[in-house]
A = this chain, B = another copy of it.
Amino acid sequence: MAGEFELIGRHFNWPAPQGYLGVGDDCALLPVATGHRLAVTTDLLVEGCHFFPDVDPETLGHKALAVNVSDLGAMGARPIGCVLGLSLPRADDAWLAAFARGFRALADAVNCPLVGGDTTRSPSGVIISVTAMGEVPVGSALKRSAARPGDDLWVTGVLGGAHVALELLQGRHPQYDDRLDALQPCLERPIPPVAFGAALAGHAHAAIDISDGLLQDLGHILKASACGADIDFGLLPVHPALEGLPPELVQSAVLNGGDVYQLCFTAAPDMRETITDLAGQYGVSASRVGRIRAGTGIHVGNSLLPLGADSYAGFDHFG
């Protein structure tokens, strides 16, 4: 089998950037800038747990990297490279080519070169491990614990798209299936605002990606920072294709919908102009949606509907 799986590796044997040593030795070598910390995040994705056997391989390749580089951006780190472990039941050339294409397109888009990996046979389903590495100036990382009362609360991009796309794909609201074309890319090809996240280092305080839903992920920041927050629902950036959907669906998608890979971050009010300028520079929309305060909990004002226990479903382990 070794030969077959060496062939698999060739789908990922992309040339290493200058100053790097890529695939082919005991380790890859990467440059880390002086005065920076190395930021590292890892995810293990397992067929039957994180994705189904019939998932589109190009989408899978994209998302396997997206979940990791999103964490780099949320730390304020500029990507320097990633490694990929891939275990497959068989060497299916078309599947591999599509997976590699999806992975590489995002790697190129966010400047996170693949520098090494490990490819083996799996006795059951597909297994993917990705470890992404970045660099962040010492003392500038956007830690969850760094929010302060008085900070503005910001969100990038638009919210709710991935959640509604998933519901439509599950056949939940067939009368709105005409929205699927506009929403499906939010679910399947999210582009995390990684370079913008890195640019926020030193300007913003705390950040997190909205992979588990806005309320739950903001809850992680508040818990780590020992603060509370007020959100103005009317300021939240709602995906335009959600217009006209039932208010309960929109509200739930925006507040609790996960898989967003946008950033929720906090910054001092005197940073508003800097942040708006950076957002323009990096082609990211950044919306100021509330503020951090002393105390605990999240108060959502101007919501579409009264907030029941339901709206805080993603918020359990904060309380």
Q: Which A residues contact B (CB, under 8 angstroms)?
A: 21, 24-32, 34-44, 46-50, 71-72, 74-75, 77, 80-81, 83-87, 115-118, 120-125, 127, 129, 131, 133-134, 136, 141-145, 207-209, 224
A43 B85 Cβ-Cβ under 8 A: yes
- A38 with B85: in contact, given A29-B141, A123-B125 (CB under 8 Å)? no
**Chain B, Cβ-Cβ closest to A134:** B27
Q: How many monomers of this chain does the complex have?
A: 2
Looking at the complex, which one of B38, B42, B120, B127 makes contact with A29 (CB distance below 8 Å)? Answer: B38
Interface of A is mostly: strand
Question: 13 additional contacts, CB 8 Å, given A21-B141, A25-B144?
Answer: A26-B75, A27-B40, A27-B74, A27-B77, A30-B40, A38-B133, A40-B116, A41-B83, A43-B85, A44-B87, A127-B127, A129-B131, A131-B131
Query: Closest Cβ of chain B: how far from A27's Cβ, in Å?
Result: 4
CB pair A41–B26 under 8 Å, yes or no, is: yes
The answer to whether B34 and A39 touch across the interface, beta carbons within 8 angstroms, is no
A42 near B116 (CB under 8 angstroms)? Answer: yes
Instruction: Rank and list the top 5 A-B pairs by shortest CB-CB distance, nearest first.
Output: A44-B85, A129-B129, A48-B123, A131-B131, A27-B39
A154 to chain B, nearest CB (A): 16
| Residue among A36, A83, A87, A131 with max Cβ neighbours from chain B (10 Å) | A131
The answer to whether B42 and A83 have CB atoms under 8 Å apart is yes
Task: Write out the residue numbers on chain B whose beta carbons fall within 8 Å of the beta carbon of A129.
Answer: 42, 44, 85, 129, 131
Please tell me if the beta carbons of B118 and A49 are within 8 angstroms of each other in the complex.
no
Q: How far is the CB of A196 from chain B (nearest CB, A)?
A: 15
Q: Given A83-B40, A131-B83, is A123 in contact with B47 using a C-beta cutoff of 8 Å?
A: yes
Q: A44-B86, A44-B129, A124-B124 are in contact. Are A29 and B39 (CB under 8 A)?
A: yes
Given A120-B50, A131-B83, CB of A28 within 8 Å of CB of B40: yes
Cα of A116 to Cα of B43 in the assembled complex, Å: 10
Q: CA of A30 to CA of B125 in the docked complex: distance in angstroms?
A: 33
Cα–Cα, bound, A270→B48 (Å): 57
Q: A288–B44 Cα gap in the complex (Å)?
A: 42
